[in-house]
Structures are given as C-alpha cells and as structure tokens.
C-alpha cells in the first residue's frame, strides 16, 4: 500500500510523513511529491521515494501518482489559485487510478463565512463528484499562526484581534498531521468528514490569560472591528490579502466558525491535543 503526500517539504507535509513512519508505515511505501527535490534530501535519505511535480502540472502529477494507492492532497498555499491547482491534483489522481484521496480542508467548509472557505468548499465539491472515494480532514486553526505576534503582545501588554467572545478550537500542526496519518492508514475512509479541533476552546481573552501566565507578564485582550484590525495588520507591513484573510478569520471566530467540540481530532490521534500553554512555552 503506497501513500503519496503532496507538498511534502512544507510545514504540514513533512510532519505527516513523520507521523506515518511513527505509525509503522515503511518509508519505501511513502511517496513525497515535491516541487524541489533538493529540499527533500533528508526524506530521501530515510528511504522515502521522491517524485517531482507542481500543482500546476497535471501531467507531472499523473506521473507522480503512478502506482500510488492513496493521496493526501495538502491544500495549496497560493490563495486565489487553489481551486485550479487542486483540480489538477484530482484530475491526475483519477488518471493514475488512485483508490483514495484525503484532503486538508477547513472547519465547516460548506457553511463557513471566512475568506478561505470558498476554495475549500469548491475543492470538496470537486472531490464529491469524483469517482475516487475521498475523506475530508477539516482542520481548524493552527496555534502556530499566532506565534509571530507573541513578542509584541508581551511587550505591549495587549493581545489585539477581532474575535469578540468567540471560541477557537485550535491545535498544532503536529496534531493535525497525526490525524491525517491516522486517516490514511485506516480502512474504509471514503466519504468520511472529520471536523478537527483542539480540546481547549478558548476565547481570545482566555488565550491572553494563558499567554500572561506563561510569560509572567500582564497581557489583556483588546477587541476591535474586523476592518480596523485589517488596517492595523496592513500598517504593520502585512500584504493586503494576508491582512484581509487574518481579519476575516477573526470575524469567523467571533461567529463560532473556528470552534468545534466534535472530538474527531482526539479520536483519530488517540490522545488530547497539545496544550496551548505548552505551545507558547516552547515558542518563548
């Protein structure tokens, strides 16, 4: 049984391969689909097969999926281009005769109002129409998304956002990677939809309290409107589309769209999600 992981040198893809190996999958049964083989040298040294293909090249993807049983389609990083890119991956998987596609989507992709959701929803719809069985791994937010802002929050004493009183059920990349690996090695996954989120369902005010406790310095949450938050992020130097995306995600948090109590993550990985205090302590 051979499993291909796309985007295998990315932050999530590499962790999925580690998780597969930890769960007993032989490296020789893993195909790492990458854009740059040089970046996958460490995987090759471990016995993982490296195949080069870009999400924009259907022919190369079809070749990369040759002899592969299962494909993990890790959503692309080019927002605005992902529907076309994901369609290329699915077309290639169909042409290659793959038996299962697992896709890293977003929480409640079919109903969420955050700006990232439409591309995920469209990809899920394409997968639903495919003759290949598919499993949707609807990942919540990553705790790592916040690590770059910790220093400023500690220095200023303010955690800024537009999440209101909404809760966020985030988890680490390693948690989501472990869930993906578990789904890939489990039989009869076609048609499954997993709403994946962490155990700690925190408001931003509660997150600020944890940060204050870990850092030993006072930090409080200040809520601002979505548009104001986007402008603040733009003023801090973030590209407009990134600022808009993050502000939209915060608005989604305020509506409860990045929260879940499904327990799907915990059931897949067989343990609680990584505590946020541990994540912050490690980062600091």
Per-residue pLDDT in tens (0 to 9) along the chain, 284 residues: 899 999 999 999 999 999 999 999 999 999 999 999 999 999 999 999 999 999 999 999 999 999 999 999 999 888 778 899 999 999 999 999 999 999 999 999 999 999 999 999 999 999 999 999 999 999 999 999 999 999 999 999 999 999 999 999 999 999 999 999 999 999 999 999 999 999 999 999 999 999 999 999 999 999 999 999 999 999 989 899 889 999 999 999 999 999 999 999 999 999 999 999 999 999 99
Q: In this structure, what token pair is assigned to residue 198?
A: 């962490």
Whole-angstrom CA distances from 153 to 147, 199, 221, 284 are 10, 24, 9, 12
Whole-angstrom CA distances from 159 to 200, 205, 206, 223, 247 are 18, 8, 11, 8, 14
Q: Which domains does the chain have, with CATH numbers?
A: 3-140+171-196+261-269 (3.40.50.720)
Return the SS3 of 70: strand
Report how far residue 196's alpha carbon sits from residue 176's, in angstroms, rounded to the nearest whole number.
8
pLDDT of amino acid 141: 96
pLDDT of amino acid 45: 96
pLDDT of amino acid 78: 81
pTM to 2 decimals? 0.96
pLDDT of amino acid 279: 97
How many CB atoms are closer than 10 A to CB 201?
18
pLDDT of amino acid 79: 77
How many CB atoms are closer than 10 A to CB 272?
13
pLDDT of amino acid 11: 92
Report how far residue 242's alpha carbon sits from residue 196's, in angstroms, rounded to the nearest whole number.
23
Q: Is 159 exposed, middle or buried (0-12, 13-18, 19+ CB in 10 A)?
A: buried
Q: Is 216 exposed, middle or buried (0-12, 13-18, 19+ CB in 10 A)?
A: exposed
CB 266 within 8 A of CB 273: yes
pLDDT of amino acid 80: 75
pLDDT of amino acid 37: 95
Report how far residue 154's alpha carbon sits from residue 254's, in angstroms, rounded to the nearest whole number.
23
Question: Which has the closest alpha carbon to 104: 17, 191, 177, 187?
Answer: 177
Provide φ and ψ at 170, rounded to 5°.
-80, 165
Report how far residue 75's alpha carbon sits from residue 146's, in angstroms, rounded to the nearest whole number.
20
pLDDT of amino acid 77: 80
User: What DSSP line would sit under 184-239, residue for residue?
Assistant: HTSS--TT-EEEE--S--B-HHHHHHHHHHHHTS--EEEE--HHHHHHHHHHTT--
Instruction: Supply the DSSP symbol for 75.
Output: P
pLDDT of amino acid 94: 98
Chain centre distance of CA 228 = 26
């Amino acid at each position: 049984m051979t499993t291909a992981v796309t985007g295998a040198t990315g932050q999530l893809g590499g962790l999925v391969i580690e998780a597969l190996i930890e769960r007993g999958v032989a490296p020789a049964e893993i195909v790492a689909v990458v854009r740059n083989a040089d970046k996958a040298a460490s995987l090759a040294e471990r016995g993982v097969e490296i195949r080069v293909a870009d999400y924009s090249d259907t022919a190369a993807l079809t070749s990369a999926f040759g002899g592969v049983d299962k494909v993990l389609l890790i959503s692309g990083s080019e927002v605005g281009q992902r529907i076309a890119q994901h369609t290329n991956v699915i077309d290639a998987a169909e042409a290659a005769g793959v038996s299962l596609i697992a896709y890293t989507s977003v929480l409640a992709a079919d109903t969420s109002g955050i700006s990232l959701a439409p591309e995920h929803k469209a990809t899920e719809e394409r997968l639903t129409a495919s003759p290949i069985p598919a499993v949707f791994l609807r990942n919540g937010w990553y705790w790592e998304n916040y690590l770059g802002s910790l220093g400023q929050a500690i220095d200023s004493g303010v955690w800024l956002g537009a999440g209101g009183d909404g809760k966020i059920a985030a988890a680490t990349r390693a948690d989501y990677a472990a869930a993906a690996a578990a789904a890939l090695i489990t039989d009869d996954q076609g048609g499954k939809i997993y709403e994946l989120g962490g155990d700690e369902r925190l408001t931003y005010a509660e997150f600020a309290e944890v940060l204050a406790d870990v850092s030993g310095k006072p930090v409080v949450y200040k809520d601002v409107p979505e548009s104001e938050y986007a402008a603040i992020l733009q003023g801090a130097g973030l590209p407009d589309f990134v600022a808009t995306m993050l502000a939209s995600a915060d608005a989604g948090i305020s509506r409860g769209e990045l929260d879940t109590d499904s327990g799907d993550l915990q059931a897949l990985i067989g343990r609680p999600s990584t505590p946020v205090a541990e994540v912050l302590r490690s980062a600091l």
